[in-house]
Chain A
Amino acid sequence: MFKNESDFKKLVDQLDIEAKSNPAHRQNLRRQMLSVFNETRQSQRLYPVATGVRRIVARTILHSRITKVAAAVIALALLVPLTYGTAAIIKSLVGTVEADSFKGRFTLDRDIHINLQVGTKQEHRIVTAGDIRFFKEGEQLLGTLRCSVSSWPKFTWRTRVVLLTVEGDVLTSTEHVRENGGVNPTGHAHWCGLSVHFSLCSWHDVSQAEAFRVSFERVPDEMETTADAWVESTQLPVVHGRVTDPHGEPIANATVQIREERKPGQLNISAPDVRTDKRGYYSFDGIEWPYRVGVLVYAENPSSEGYRHQYMRFNKVLEGSQEVDFNFGPFPKGNAILSGQVVEPNGTVIEEFNVDVRLNVDWKDYSIKYLYQFGIKNPFVASDGRFEIADLPAGVYKVSVIPTKNEVIDLAAYTGIRHYLCDLVDGERMELSEQHALEKVWYGRVLFDDGAPAVLDLPAVRAHIIKWEEGFPEGQTLATVDGEGYFAACISDEVMERLLSGRAWLTIAVSHSVWRSHIQKDKFPAELLSLHRDKAGAVRVTRPHTYYGRILYENGRPAVPEVMPWPGAKVYVAIRYTPATATDGGLTEELGDIDSQGYFAVCLTDEQLERLRSGTYQIGVAHPSYEDAMTTYGMGTFPCEILATEASQAKGYRLPYEKMSCEFRNLKQQLESADKLKELNLALSAYCADHADTFPIMLEELRPYDVNDLLTWLKENVEYLGAGQVGTAQQGEEIAVAYDKALLDKTERRGTNVLFMDEHVEFCRAKRLQRLGIDCLEE
Chain B
Amino acid sequence: MVLAMAKIRTQTDNDDLVIRAHTNPDALGRLYDLYYQRIYRFCLCRLFSKETAEDITSAVFLAVARGISTFEGQTESDFRNWLYRIAANQANSYIRKTTRRKELLTEAARLMQIKRATVTDDPPELDWPTLHTAISKLKLKYQSIIILRFFLNLEFEEIGKILKARPSTVRVALHRALRKLRNHLQTVLDGGQ
Q: Which residues of A contact B (CB under 8 A)?
A: 1-2, 4-5, 8-9, 11-12, 15-17, 19, 21-22, 25-26, 29-30, 32-34, 36-38, 40-41, 44, 54-55, 58-59, 745, 748-749, 775, 778
Inter-chain CA distance A30–B29, complex, in Å, is: 7
Are B151 and A12 in contact, with the CB atoms below 8 A?
A: yes
Is there a chain A Cβ closer than 8 Å to B131's Cβ? yes
The residue that A33 contacts in the complex, of B28, B72, B181, with Cβ under 8 A, is B28
A residues less than 8 Å from B37 (CB atoms): 19, 21
A30 to chain B, nearest CB (A): 6
Are A40 and B128 in contact, with the CB atoms below 8 A?
A: no
Are B137 and A775 in contact, with the CB atoms below 8 A?
A: yes
Are A38 and B25 in contact, with the CB atoms below 8 A?
A: yes
Are A15 and B41 in contact, with the CB atoms below 8 A?
A: no
Beyond A5-B178, A19-B40, A21-B36, list 14 extra A-B contacts (CB 8 Å). Answer: A1-B126, A1-B186, A1-B189, A4-B178, A11-B126, A12-B131, A15-B126, A16-B128, A17-B44, A29-B58, A30-B29, A30-B36, A33-B65, A37-B28
A289 to chain B, nearest CB (A): 65
Are A775 and B180 in contact, with the CB atoms below 8 A?
A: yes
Q: Is the interface of A mostly helix, strand, loop or mixed?
A: helix
Whether A26 contacts B28 in the complex (CB less than 8 A), given A17-B45, A33-B61, A778-B139, comes out as: no
Is there a chain A Cβ closer than 8 Å to B111's Cβ? no
Are B28 and A34 in contact, with the CB atoms below 8 A?
A: yes
Inter-chain CA distance A36–B28, complex, in Å, is: 12
Are B65 and A36 in contact, with the CB atoms below 8 A?
A: yes
B79 to chain A, nearest CB (A): 14
Inter-chain CA distance A8–B177, complex, in Å, is: 12
Are B66 and A58 in contact, with the CB atoms below 8 A?
A: no
- 15 intermolecular pairs with C-beta atoms under 8 Å apart: A9-B150, A11-B126, A15-B126, A16-B128, A17-B128, A19-B37, A19-B45, A21-B40, A29-B36, A36-B66, A38-B25, A40-B66, A58-B70, A745-B192, A778-B139
Inter-chain CA distance A24–B178, complex, in Å, is: 36
A5 to chain B, nearest CB (A): 7
The residue that A2 contacts in the complex, of B25, B41, B66, B182, with Cβ under 8 A, is B182
The residue that A8 contacts in the complex, of B44, B65, B178, B186, with Cβ under 8 A, is B178
A residues less than 8 Å from B33 (CB atoms): 30
B50 to chain A, nearest CB (A): 8
Is there a chain A Cβ closer than 8 Å to B174's Cβ? yes
Are B40 and A33 in contact, with the CB atoms below 8 A?
A: no
A86 to chain B, nearest CB (A): 30
Inter-chain CA distance A40–B64, complex, in Å, is: 11
Are B65 and A40 in contact, with the CB atoms below 8 A?
A: yes
Size bracket, chain B contacts:
35 or more
Which of B44, B65, B139 gathers the greatest number of chain A CB atoms within 10 Å? B65
Q: Which residues of B contact A (CB under 8 A)?
A: 23, 25, 28-29, 32-33, 36-37, 40-41, 44-45, 50, 54, 57-58, 61-62, 64-66, 68-70, 72, 96, 102, 126-128, 131, 137, 139-140, 150-151, 174, 178, 180-182, 185-186, 189, 192-193
Are B128 and A778 in contact, with the CB atoms below 8 A?
A: no
B35 to chain A, nearest CB (A): 11
Q: Is the interface of B mostly helix, strand, loop or mixed?
A: helix
A residues less than 8 Å from B96 (CB atoms): 778
Inter-chain CA distance A549–B115, complex, in Å, is: 40
Inter-chain CA distance A775–B183, complex, in Å, is: 11
B40 to chain A, nearest CB (A): 5
Inter-chain CA distance A34–B96, complex, in Å, is: 29
Are B40 and A1 in contact, with the CB atoms below 8 A?
A: no
Q: Which residue of chain A lies nearest to B42 when distances are taken between CB atoms in the complex?
A: A19
Q: Which residue of chain A lies nearest to B50 when distances are taken between CB atoms in the complex?
A: A22
B18 to chain A, nearest CB (A): 14
The residue that A748 contacts in the complex, of B66, B102, B140, with Cβ under 8 A, is B102
The residue that A30 contacts in the complex, of B32, B41, B68, with Cβ under 8 A, is B32
Are A33 and B131 in contact, with the CB atoms below 8 A?
A: no
Q: Which residue of chain A lies nearest to B189 when distances are taken between CB atoms in the complex?
A: A1
Are B23 and A41 in contact, with the CB atoms below 8 A?
A: yes
A531 to chain B, nearest CB (A): 66
B residues less than 8 Å from A41 (CB atoms): 23, 69
Which of A33, A41, A44 gathers the greatest number of chain B CB atoms within 10 Å? A33
